[in-house]
Amino acid sequence: MQNRFRGDRICILMFIISAIALLFWINISTEKQIEASYKRSIQAPLLNILGQVFKSDSIELNPYPIPKKFWPLLGFENQHYLNIAYQNSEAVALIIPATTQTGYSGEIKIIVAVSRDGQIIGVRILKHSETPGLGDKIDISTDDWILAFDGKSLSNTAEKSWTVRKDGGEFDQISGATITSKSVISKVFKALKYFEQDKVHLFGQTTPETDSL
């Protein structure tokens, strides 16, 4: 009886060892490729926004760690990276990530592309779980609402205008999803605020025009 169980144990042990060996081998042989496809999937939406303004094949993205004091402003609790877009080795735009919990259901992850002079190139929703048919209109695949941000900046839109029309703002509310629209608008505003405060670091030297804004 004891012998039979010993055989079982050895049998199971052999399986575990060979399975671990197999998975280990697959893991090390795919690790690099997985990292590359992860990077591609992260960068694809960013390049997609920038493609409206710049030729996307001449753009190079470089990650930059967001300083800790700005994490609460953007809604982060740990280290995140923004991307600086370079064209001909000159920084031309920033892609700022932000996240908000004040939507209707769960977290909304946003990216805001800002050009050197502080104008929004585009805003996209990376991830959300808003109600299908209502709140999900923030997503470009279902509605054009998000395009309303294009061209806005802190200088051409006053602070009190950064809300929905119902509250005296400049942006349409998505009908049936005012909470969602408001939280996205306020987060985009905060991303611009962050840009305003940190642009000296981000672009190295600021040009005279951007200083006067």
Positions that interact with another protein (CB under 8 A): 5, 8, 11-12, 15-16, 19, 22-23, 26-27, 30, 33-34, 37-38, 40-41, 132-133
Please say which residue, 16 or 200, places its beta carbon nearer to another protein.
16
Task: Find all residues with CB under 8 Å of 71, minimum gap 6, and list them.
Answer: 77, 78, 80
Please say which residue, 24 or 81, places its beta carbon nearer to another protein.
24
The single-letter DSSP state of residue 119 is -
Please say which residue, 35 or 172, places its beta carbon nearer to another protein.
35
For the CB of residue 131, give the shortest distance to another protein in the complex, in Å: 9
Q: How far is residue 193's CA from residue 142's CA, in Å, rounded to a whole number?
A: 28
For the CB of residue 64, give the shortest distance to another protein in the complex, in Å: 24
> Which is nearest to 111 in space by CA: 60, 174, 55, 49?
49
Please work out, in degrees rounded to the nearest 5, the angle formed at the alpha carbon of residue 98 by the alpha carbons of 58 and 203: 45
The single-letter DSSP state of residue 1 is -
Strands 81-87 and 59-65: antiparallel
160: left (phi over 0), alpha (psi -120 to 50) or beta: alpha
Please say which residue, 143 or 172, places its beta carbon nearer to another protein.
143
For the CB of residue 61, give the shortest distance to another protein in the complex, in Å: 17
Please say which residue, 2 or 88, places its beta carbon nearer to another protein.
2
Assess contact for 192 and 154: CB atoms under 8 A: yes
For the CB of residue 90, give the shortest distance to another protein in the complex, in Å: 31
Q: How far is CA 44 from the centre of its chain?
A: 11
Please say which residue, 139 or 167, places its beta carbon nearer to another protein.
139
For the CB of residue 153, give the shortest distance to another protein in the complex, in Å: 33
For the CB of residue 111, give the shortest distance to another protein in the complex, in Å: 16
Q: Give the position of tokens 């031309």.
A: 92
Q: What amino acid occupies position 74?
A: L
